[in-house]
Amino acid sequence: MKLLRYGPPGQEKPALVAPDGSLRDLSQHVHDIDPRTLERKVLDELRALDPAGLPLVEGEVRIGAPVAAIGKLVCVGLNYADHAKESNLPVPSEPVLFMKATSAICGPNDQVIIPRGAQKTDWEVELGIVIGRKAQYVEREQALEHIAGYCIVNDVSERAFQHERGGSWDKGKGCDTFAPIGPWLVTRDEIADVRDLDLRLSVNDEVRQRGNTRTMIFAIDEIVSYISQFMTLNPGDVICTGTPPGVGAGMQPPQFLKPGDRMRLSISGLGEQCQDVVAWQR
């Protein structure tokens, strides 16, 4: 099942993608795609609906982030060995964790704003995990049971803020519009093998990143279990699982985003994002 939210920012309505690709409104069945909707019972009820009997969403509509009221955006850094290498950093022995501000969240096709004073704004296509059940001290063997589904996340990063301004990585990760999510939340049952998903990102139609989740250092179940040892994961929380090689900072010479650029991202079975890059304006 592919769930999404459509409409103007702050006024999004719930919907699903029907087998024929049409969007069908779910407002008569759930208020929103939020943490309550991610409960297994509610997802089963939505899965039992006949999409043909749901109202058709007609015309061009904006797609918002697929989950409302995301409580936490937890990120795993350097989770692909070849990305660690291009970053001139050692392969981690344990997952590297940092947080992205929830105020960075935007729709999958919304504009990405280069922040004031930015010099090195970069791209990162990532597989996102959406938590469906509270996870606290979860063993690896039970970790997947706590996942509602998966989505695409662009972990946009300002490298100068991240590496040259002192402190943690968070400064370069949480700027407004630095977390496009979606277009869909694809429920876990629809992904046959999360360890074999192709990731791709292009800038101005030039492919910059191409990878596969099978080259992750830490697998999905390991990530969920590990994070749950340090913090409680609640329904609606999103985990960004790391990016494959091909980021701008790793190019020779480095290349970064500028106003007028267009990013396009895709992951097998999870749809596609497309963002135009614009300059910050007062």
Specify if 209 maps to a domain.
yes
Residues 33 and 151 both lie in one domain: no
> Do 49 and 77 lie in a common domain?
no
Residues 189 and 242 in one domain: yes
Higher per-residue confidence, 180 vs 86? 180
pLDDT in tens, 20-39: 999 999 999 999 999 999 99
Same domain, 270 and 211: yes
Please tell me whether residues 155 and 206 are part of one structural domain. Answer: yes
Same domain as 127, residue 26: no
Q: What range does the domain containing 237 cover?
A: 73-279
Residue 61 lies in a domain: no
CA distance 167 to 280: 24
Q: Is residue 63 part of a domain?
A: no
pLDDT value, residue 136: 98
Report, as an integer, the average pLDDT of 91-99. Answer: 93
Is the bond leading into 253 cis (omega within 30 degrees of zero)?
yes
Whether the Cβ atoms of residue 269 and residue 107 lie closer than 8 Å to each other:
no
Q: Is the pLDDT of residue 83 over 90?
A: no
Average pLDDT, the chain: 96
Q: How confident is the model at residue 86 (pLDDT cuts 50, 70, 90)?
A: confident
Same domain, 123 and 233: yes
Q: Is residue 271 part of a domain?
A: yes
For residue 60, tell me if it sits in a domain: no
Identify whether residues 42 and 85 lie together within a single domain.
Answer: no
Nearest 5°: the CA angle 225, 104, 281 is 165
- Asked if 116 and 217 sit in the same domain, the reply is yes
Structural domain total, the chain: 2
- pLDDT (0 to 100) of residue 151: 98
Does 167 have pLDDT greater than 90?
A: no
Is residue 181 located within the same domain as residue 271? Answer: yes
Does 65 map to a domain? Answer: no
Task: Give the Cα separation of 236 and 66 in Å (integer).
Answer: 10
Q: Is residue 59 part of a domain?
A: no
Task: Say if residue 77 is in the same domain as residue 35.
Answer: no
Residues 96 and 227 in one domain: yes
As a whole number of angstroms, the distance between CA 276 and CA 282 comes to 18
Residue 273 in tokens? 């994002």
- Name the 3-class secondary structure at 128: strand
> What would the pLDDT profile of 196-250 be if each residue is shown by its tens digit?
999 999 999 999 999 999 999 999 999 999 999 999 999 999 999 999 999 999 9
Residue 176 in domain: yes
pLDDT computed for residue 87 by the predictor:
80
Residue 123: CATH number of its domain: 3.90.850.10
Condensed to tens digits (0 to 9), the pLDDT of residues 51-66 reads 999 999 999 999 999 9
